[in-house]
Amino acid sequence: MTDWTDATAPESDEIEAIARRVLDTLPAAFAPHAANIVLRVEDFADDAMMDELEIDDPLELTGIYDGVPMTEKQPSYPQHFPDTIWLFRRAIIDEWAERGDVTLADLVTHVTVHELAHHFGWSDDDIAKIDRWWE
């Protein structure tokens, strides 16, 4: 049995390092299109984000893509903020502990790739057709 006496939850920088490795190891066809994405790790989504998404429980949101999907970008459309993938540390840790069947790195990788798919223009329905992770 594992002794968890001195164990601590991963910090934001550890989660960001996992997500950064995902972006750094993308296949050549995708890497240039993800080069300018900003990664942000916070404990929870802020109230404004939760209200906009109509989510009451911050533990339900492990990540979100905030930006204009590539399929919708136009040269004449000004973007006043960078495309950002937000990862929410406490929700990720909660899901990781609740699932108990995946590594933290696998979960962070999965959330990062899911949000990256939104950057490339995929909807949640599109992603669900090929990704059965949460079933």
Assess whether pLDDT exceeds 80 at residue 37. Answer: yes
Strands 84-88 and 38-42: parallel
Q: Each residue of 103-130: pLDDT tens digit?
A: 999 999 999 999 999 898 887 777 777 7
Domain count, the chain: 1
Looking at per-residue pLDDT, the higher value among 132 and 15 belongs to 15
5 belongs to a structural domain? no
The reply to whether 119 falls in a domain is yes
Task: Please give the Cα distance from 66 to 83 (Å, whole number).
Answer: 6
In a domain, 39, yes or no: yes
Q: Does residue 60 contact residue 45 with C-beta atoms inside 8 Å?
A: no
For residue 44, give its domain range.
12-69+80-130
Structure tokens at 96: 């990781």
The CATH number of residue 65's host domain is 3.30.2010.20
pLDDT digits (tens, 9 = 90+) for 43-87: 999 999 999 999 999 999 999 999 988 888 877 777 778 899 999
- How does the average pLDDT of the chain come out, rounded? 87
63: β partners = 87
Do the beta carbons of residue 65 and residue 119 sit within 8 Å? yes
Q: Nearest 5 degrees, angle CA 114-CA 36-CA 19?
A: 40
Q: C-alpha dihedral over 115, 121, 124, 129, to 10 degrees?
A: -110
Please, what sign has the CA dihedral across residues 29, 32, 34, 35?
positive
**Tell me, what's the pLDDT at 121?**
84
